[in-house]
Structure 1
Amino acid sequence: MREFSVPVLVDVPPSANCTDVVFQRAVDEPATVVIRRKDGTAADSPWNPITAAGFRADVAAVAKGLIAAGVESGDRVGLMSRTRYEWTVTDYAIWAAGAVGVPIYETSSPDQVKWILSDSGAKAVVVELKGHEETVREALPEFPLVWRIDDGGLDELKTLGSGVTDDVLAERRASRGGHDLATIIYTSGTTGMPKGCRITHDNLLFTARNVSRGPLEAMFDVDDRAALLFLPLAHSFARIIEVVLIETGTVLAHTPNMKNVAPDLQGFKPTFLLGVPRVFEKVYNAAEQKAVADGKGKIFHAAVRAAIDWSRAESAGGAGFGVRARHAVFDKLVYGKLRAATGGALNTAVSGGSALGERLGHFFRGVGIEVLEGWGLTETSAPSTVNIPGANKIGTVGKPFPGVSIRIGDDGEVLVKGRHVFDGYWNNERATKEAIDPEGWFHTGDVGEIDGDGYLRITGRKKEILVTAGGKNVAPAPLEDAIRAHRLISQVMVVGDDRPFIAALITLDPEAMEQWKQANGKAEVSTADPALLAEVQGAVDVANRMVSKAEQIKKFVILENDLTEETGHLTPSLKVKRALVMRDYAKQVDELYG
């Protein structure tokens, strides 16, 4: 199949903007709890309720402060913070003031901050921590308006805006409609300076309402629905989920530190969450490492096989008695404990950002937590396709959500059309024309295929296809995903462009390595350790069985240090910056072919 479309389910009026639901719900359901905010950092700290009226009051007060400070309708306001309640308040306050939000990753360097604030023409910025303010001051010493959350910045804004009337705020809110700019999201990108994506209120609302009333309606149509956000809200994926949660009235909670996710899951007890594949890999690897350390590795691995077998059988029409019996036994021995570790109420998760892999998808479904994989880009307001509860085709990224069309180009590139497609790149019309063709199709750069039921499968990136010296085209992603599934491995980058064969750069997970060293009685381990090399070779062998001989990895090297966001080798969504890795590890690559 070359093209597949799904009709629009929910229309959005031209006058609508993202703040409408915040102010209307405060009138219709003022006492309804919409957010829970953790009081303290201890694992057992209470999650205090914030009502629709309380949230609206916070948003309105901060918005009035921005207006009083001189922020005009259409002005850009930066927001640099971890994922926390104040992020969501500030995000909606910027919109309520008629302004345009410009999110900045809290890990951004001074050069990146300077580029984003300068290119967007931001008039003000709200930051979270002292370090964030110092970064802004280093980037732009004369920047005029900076408020810091942990230094009472939002309270300062509320006081500043105390003289602004409700009528003035209502007029400012009404000044922005669906076609007006809501946010400029700078793509993290794997090369060059990020490009600013112009996202309108209509882009966000059209996406949120059609997703939440269409394919994912079952996730939001229950009374006790709740979601824990821990991914950076500066990323388009987490940002659209924030909008979906506010639109649907789903109880929302925030976790600013990834280290707090495990205890916060147990304390908050979400019914669903979202993550990138690396998060689910970490959950699996942690469970495996604990089982091995406790001497229960064989039981755990048998439980994994039973979960995957059961899920595959369910996809093929239903599990037989033997598979069901094994699954039931391990549900009591293993799966129930895994569900309890997530709070006991979690049954659904959404994964995006990169490929999850069939093995993990089947494992989690077998455990009782269905991971729905979706796909999209910042330029498509995050999602374009998503799997559906009850019709989850693992290994695909689902069908288009209502109002979206997808097409496979002659060269295999995935093209997208719909009201969720961005308005273009900020200050870069040349790049806009290159990305959106005269027929309105956005060229995603991803390569894929559509099956007979309309499900999309992503097979690689158009620019990341490797061509060996022998002329063989190789998609690195499937090989990388398979190797990264091993508990000891953190990151993988397959190389081989214009080279005689395919090879790989591999890094190790520091936490997993500590347990492996203890289990093997080793105080220190070098990357040339024979036992370690054998472990990694086993992971490579598993990946090689998936592809033809010409596509197999012939050699690999274990790098001394991990590839991380802090080292500059990963984007905030944990994608490898291939060009930078090739630059910084050119010597190791050359040695592979020496």
Structure 2
Amino acid sequence: MTTAVPIDPAIQSVGHMLRNRIRQTPDRRAYSYPVVAGDGTETWTAVTWSELGTQAAEVAGGLMSMGIEAEERVAIASSTRYEWALANYGIMYASAATVTVYPTTVADDVSFILADSGSRVVFAEDREQVDKLLALRDEIPDVQSVVLFSGDVPEELDTEAPGWVVTLDDLRERGRAYLADNPTAVDDRIDATRLEHLSTLIYTSGTTGRPKGVRLPHRVWVFEAHSAEATARSGPEEFLTIDDKQFLWLPLAHVMGKLLLVLPVHIGFETAIDGRIDKIIGNLAVVKPTFMGSAPRIFEKAYNGVATMMASEGGVKEKLFHWASRTGVQVFDADHGVGSASAWVRLQAKIGDRLVMSKIRERFGGNVNYFISGSAALNTDIARWFGAAGMPILEGYGLTETSAATCLTRPHIYRAGYVGRPMEGIEARIAEDGEVLIKGPGVMDGYHNNPEATAEVLDADGWFHTGDIGEMDNEGRVKITDRKKELFKTSNGKYVAPAQIEAKFKGLCPVASQLVVIGNDRPYVSALVTLDEDAVTAWAERSGVSGTYREIVAAPVTREMVQGYIDELNSHLNRWEQIKKFTVLHRDLGVEYQEITPSLKLRRKVIHEHFDNEIAAHYE
């Protein structure tokens, strides 16, 4: 039986949670974020919970001065940055509902999201986002104002759209004036908000078809925060406390990023926030967090970066790295129920940790207790290596429709390849066809303006049908094997689960970026391969291959290298799963091409369209 999670009945919304946090720890640091000076130098500045509350109240007051009422929608189109978090908390204080928009979303989908949601105000990151909205102005008549995070309002807008765009500073100034005349306005809004009021509208990233708006009331965030706390305390050692420090780079338009804005409000730890993906590893060394959530691709790149650096050093250093990794993984596995490790192996691992792994931990800031991985399958070899390095990755599972956190690996019952048990207060079961079903307070209310789609996934008993295929072991740990819709059958009648094959390859090949498995209704499986530019360029230098990235990936020696890793991959697969032909693409897949989502999931239909000729050549 699932144990109910105790929740204070006085906590009815995210606004209640933030107000409560400020009362409890007003002077503790809430956020830190980078500020870039004119000469390009960066310094990190911090705000306390009390300061955050004051700023959020100003944003809320500004929105109320514009006439925004409870549950009306306010959109945010921006990459991850402090202003995103501030805008969201301001929206929560005004009891409005946040609509999330990725800054990379194409104009057609932006128009649909804003119109379908009925958004009245949009927070826009920069001039690029403002220009996108201006071009759509006739299609989004409900949007009465745009609030600009960065830069000044362009002068030409005074004639083209006078007063339509204001800066965040302008909004906060309006808020201060509004609250001077209405000093209890924010508290009144918070006090009137209830668990079932709409808090968030997140449109699915749309790997297929038009995005659907997932309606998440305050209930799901209040529950998820309390469930995460109870889950963290369910083992012999608590692993999420007020003394933790989070580094947050994930897209806040993604449900996992949104959850990571709610957890610190409830638990009280500091968040260092910066969404620049190219700065992640460098920021870890500066910020020195105790944990970070991420998509698997970042862990793959981090591991490949370390392995490539060691390979470039060569000699004793490279041998020491592989020795320390091998013995460390053996001990980590043994400590988590897989295989055994003798006293001699443990001594070697201890020495390897002192000589190698401790230095790797310093590259990640030196304070990481664990990472959290979500959004896609994590390669088990990479998970085990990070565990051996003393930075275990707690793999989690959830969907936008289940407000992100559904299952989570607990450190004391860790098993690589599994996403852990359902979190406290959540039920999960496996249907007869293998589909994972979820039930609990974290499940959405339904899809916005789409009752037909809601009925397809929410049954009469309240079970949400995830569309994922999985299994559960005797410890209650869940393993996701693939997306139900992504499973395909070859023309020989054999089923293939592409995501597991793709994740395995990226763990084997240190220069890999993406593998896309092909084969639906085909006589055999083939693949498209893309390579990580930094990693393959470093490999090329060591291998005597020169030229541009495009020339490197087209070189016969590069294909020979990739073929070796494909052969190794095939040795771990059933005969009908093995990759018979592959193409190394001349460029990587990109969000800007709509080939992967901002949360780094493959958009298979788009990829098939863009590389139709390459795929067709596999079957000539």
In structure 2, what is the equivalent of residue 507 of structure 1?
530
Which residue does the alignment assign to 2:287? 268
Change (3 A) 1:14 1:251: closer
What do the CA deviations read for 1:176-231 (whole angstroms, capped 9, x no partner)?
A: 21011101001102111211000010011101111122236756654531001011
Mapped partners of 1:213, 1:44: distance in 2: 41
Match of 2:262 in 1: 243
AA matched with 1:356: L
Give the alignment of 1:194-343 within 5 angstroms. Answer: 194-215=211-232, 222=241, 224-295=243-314, 296-316=317-337, 319-343=341-365
Shift of 1:126: 0.7
Q: Match for 2:605: what amino acid? A: A
Q: Which amino acid aligns with 1:156?
A: D
Q: Given the alignment, which residue of 80, 83, 86 partners 1:86?
A: 83
The root-mean-square deviation of aligned C-alpha atoms, in Å, is: 1.9
Match of 2:174 in 1: 160
What is the match of residue 561 of structure 1? 587
Cα offsets for 1:122-152 (capped at 9, x unmatched): 0111111111111111222564200101136
Matched, 1:54 2:54: no
Query: Which residue of structure 1 lines up, in the alignment, with residue 481 of structure 2?
Result: 459
Of structures 1 and 2, the one scoring higher in RCO (CA 8 A, sep 6+) is 1
Structure 2 stretches of 5 or more lacking a match?
A: 153-166
1:73 matched residue in structure 2: 70
Question: After the TM superposition, which of the residue ranges 216-225 and 389-398 deviates more from structure 2?
Answer: 216-225
Counterpart mapping for 1:398-417 below 5 A: 398-417=420-439
2:331 maps to amino acid: W
- Look up the match of 2:490: 468
- Partner SS, residue 265 of structure 2: helix
CA distance 1:12–1:416, shift in 2 (3 Å): farther
Structure 2 CA distance for partners of 1:512 and 1:592, relative to 1, 3 Å: same
SS at match of 2:353: helix
What fraction of aligned residue pairs are identical, expressed as a percent?
35
Give, in whole Å, the separation in 2 of the partners of 1:256 and 1:457: 30
Q: Give the aligned partner of residue 541 of structure 1.
A: 567
Aligned equivalent of 2:617: 591
Shift of 1:49: 3.1
Secondary structure (helix, strand or coil) at the match of 1:71 reads coil
Asked whether the 8 Å contact 2:537–2:552 carries over to 1, the reply is no
Secondary structure, counterpart of 2:283 in structure 1: helix
Q: Distance in 2 between matches of 1:274 and 1:114?
A: 30
Whether the 8 Å CA contact 2:581–2:618 is kept in 1: the answer is yes
What residue in structure 1 maps to residue 158 of structure 2? none
Are 1:150 and 2:150 matched, yes or no? yes
| Distance change in 2, residues 1:266/1:544 (3 Å) | same
Query: Equivalent residue of 2:413, what SS?
Result: coil
Which stretch has the larger CA shift, 373-382 or 553-562? 553-562
Q: CA contact under 8 A between 2:295 and 2:374: conserved in structure 1? A: yes
**Maintained 8 Å contact 1:14/1:202:** no
- Establish whether residue 173 from structure 1 lines up as the match of residue 190 from structure 2: yes
Distance in 2 between residues matched to 1:22 and 1:58, nearest whole Å: 12
- Runs of 4 or more off by more than 6 Å in structure 1? 41-44
Q: Is the 8 A contact 2:545 2:552 kept in 1?
A: no
- SS of the residue corresponding to residue 53 of structure 1 reads helix
Task: Quote the residue 1:134 is aligned against.
Answer: 131
Q: Which residue of 1 aligns with 2:512?
A: 489
**Which residue in the other structure is 1:95 paired with?**
92
Alignment: residue pair count: 590
Instruction: Please tell me the residue identity of whatever aligns with 1:321.
Output: A
> Against the structure 1 CA distance between its residues 570 and 523, is the aligned structure 2 distance closer, same or farther, given a 3 Å change threshold?
same
SS in structure 2 of the partner of residue 446 of structure 1 = strand
Once residues 329 and 557 of structure 1 are traced to their aligned partners in structure 2, the CA distance between those partners, rounded to angstroms, is: 42
Residues 325-366 of structure 1: per-residue CA shift (max 9 Å, x gap): 221122122211111011111121110001112111110010
Shift in Å, 1:44: 8.1
Deviation at 1:12, TM superposition (A): 5.3
SS at match of 1:307: helix
Distance in 1 between the 2:318 and 2:25 partners?
50
Cα distance in 2 for partners of 1:483, 1:300 equals 21
- 1:193 partner SS: coil
The answer as to whether partners of 1:507 and 1:561 remain within 8 angstroms in 2 is yes
What CA distance in whole angstroms lies between the structure 1 residues aligned with 2:408 and 2:504?
22
Does residue 579 in structure 1 map to residue 605 in structure 2? yes
The Cα shift of 1:389 comes to 2.1
Deviation at residue 291 of structure 1 after TM alignment: 1.0
Bigger shift: residues 429-438 or 77-86: 77-86
Q: Which stretch shows the higher mean deviation, 173-182 or 318-327?
A: 318-327
Distance 1:582-1:359 versus aligned 2 partners, 3 A rule: same
Distance 1:270 1:310 in 2: 25
1:106 and 2:103 correspond: yes
* Counterparts of 2:99 and 2:400, CA distance in 1: 13
Task: Give 1:160's aligned amino acid.
Answer: R
Task: Output the amino acid matched with 2:336.
Answer: S
Contact 1:480–1:493 at 8 Å: present in 2 too? yes
Q: Which residue number corresponds to residue 6 of structure 1? A: 2
Deviation string 1:512-554 (CA, Å, 9 cap, x unpaired) is 1211221111113454533212221222122222221122111
Structure 1 residue matching 2:271: 3-state secondary structure: strand
Cα offset for 1:482? 1.3
Match of 2:444 in 1: 422
Instruction: Name the CA shift for 1:378/1:222 in 2 (closer, same or farther; >3 Å).
Output: closer
Relative distance call for 1:133 and 1:355 in structure 2 (3 A) is same
TM-aligned CA distance change 1:290 to 1:195, over 3 Å? same
Q: How far apart, in 1, do the equivalents of 2:11 and 2:225 lie?
A: 16
Residues 214 and 447 of structure 2 are in contact (CA less than 8 Å); yes or no, is this contact kept in structure 1?
A: yes
Q: Equivalents in 2 of 1:377, 1:545: separation in Å?
A: 32
State TM-score, norm by structure 1.
0.96
Looking at structure 2, the residues matched to 34 and 460 of structure 1 have their Cα atoms a distance apart, in angstroms, of 38
* Shift of residue 316, structure 1, vs aligned partner: 2.3
Worse-matched range after superposition: 183-192 or 325-334: 325-334
| Contact 2:241 2:267 (C-alpha < 8 Å) held by counterparts | no
Q: Is the 8 A contact 2:242 2:268 kept in 1?
A: no
Structure 1 unpaired stretches of 5+: none
Within 1, Cα distance between the matches of 2:233 and 2:291? Answer: 11
Task: Give the SS at the match of 2:461.
Answer: coil
